[in-house]
Amino acid sequence: MKLLALIAFTSAATFACAVNIPLTQEELVRRTQELYDAVAFANQAPWKKYFADDCIFADEKGRVFDKSKLVADITPLPVGYSGTIKIENAQSRIIGNTAILSYDADETETIFGQKLKARYHVTDTWLRRNDNWKIIASQAHRYYEDPAIGTADPKKFADYIGTYELAPGQTRSIIAEGDRLFVERNGKKEQLLPETSEIFFRKGIEGRILFRYASTGKVDTLIDRRNNEDVIWRKATESKK
């Protein structure tokens, strides 16, 4: 009896010691990497293990999942697809029963031999209940990346050059310097990089600049497209030829 009591006491002490081990950033990163490593193999087990039953998960597309929908979304990749996600630049705040892990998720996806890259930033909130840490909330967004630079047609620049008006006193100008096109407003000049010969973007700025041709065959509008919404600038002056 004394031996059984000693074993029971030792087991209880060991368990108590284990559950009282402080949670660290390294352990949070390890668990989170385990989640992402499981995605490529459609392994739902870590997602069931580390997410709370009442969790909220908001992905980079703006979709919001509860746990059942989140786990169901972990499905096999299509044939010919593979990928990895690596955690980088992790930061944490661990206070009492709450732990926040904020990190970059660097994704490499291979589609029939072609490699694609994407970067996300994710913030997970872990909550300790009954000495068990689980994610109660997760929020992700995707970093903006410039599109690939296409080929401009300098012969069309003369159509684009001129002053465009948003409202009285609110103008911007399109100018050309050799085979490069620029937009200038309030003394600030930015190069317009071509995605196609009629669609341009500015480095590091989400959105597109498009030029619209009227039925006359001349450009009458500059469209500043932001997240599929358009700000319209009407052409006020033509270029001087």
Task: Convert the pLDDT of each residue in 41-76 to its tens digit.
Answer: 999 999 999 999 999 999 999 999 999 999 999 999
Of 232, 189, 241, residue with least CA distance to 210: 232
- The answer to whether the beta carbons of residues 115 and 109 sit under 8 Å apart is yes
The strand ranges marked E within the chain are 51-58, 64-65, 81-95, 98-111, 114-129, 132-142, 162-167, 170-177, 180-185, 188-194, 199-201, 208-213, 219-226, 229-238
Tell me the DSSP string of 175-228. Answer: EEETTEEEEEETTEEEEEEESSSSEEE-TT--SEEEEEE-TTSSEEEEEEEETT
- The answer to whether the beta carbons of residues 145 and 107 sit under 8 Å apart is no
pLDDT on residue 7: 46
pLDDT at 235 over 50: yes
pLDDT on residue 34: 98
pLDDT on residue 13: 46
Mean predicted confidence (pLDDT) in 197-213 = 93
pLDDT at 1 over 60: no
Q: How confident is the model at residue 19 (pLDDT cuts 50, 70, 90)?
A: low
pLDDT on residue 208: 95
Taking the C-alpha atoms of residue 91 and residue 219, their distance in angstroms, rounded to an integer, is: 50
Amino acid identity at 233: W
Show me where the domains of the chain are located.
22-142, 154-238
Handedness of CA 150, 156, 159, 162 (dihedral sign): positive
The hierarchical CATH code for the domain 154-238 is 2.40.128.50
Q: How confident is the model at residue 20 (pLDDT cuts 50, 70, 90)?
A: low
Tens digit of pLDDT for each residue in 124-182? 999 999 999 999 999 999 999 999 999 999 999 999 999 999 999 999 999 999 999 99
Question: Which CA distances in Å does 135 have to 1, 50, 131, 234, 237?
Answer: 42, 6, 13, 50, 57
Q: Which two tokens stand for residue 127?
A: 């909550």
* CATH match of 22-142 with 3.10.450.50: yes
Tens digit of pLDDT for each residue in 95-118? 999 999 999 999 999 999 999 999
Q: Model-level pTM?
A: 0.76
pLDDT at 8 over 50: no
Of 211, 14, 200, residue with least CA distance to 191: 200
pLDDT on residue 198: 87
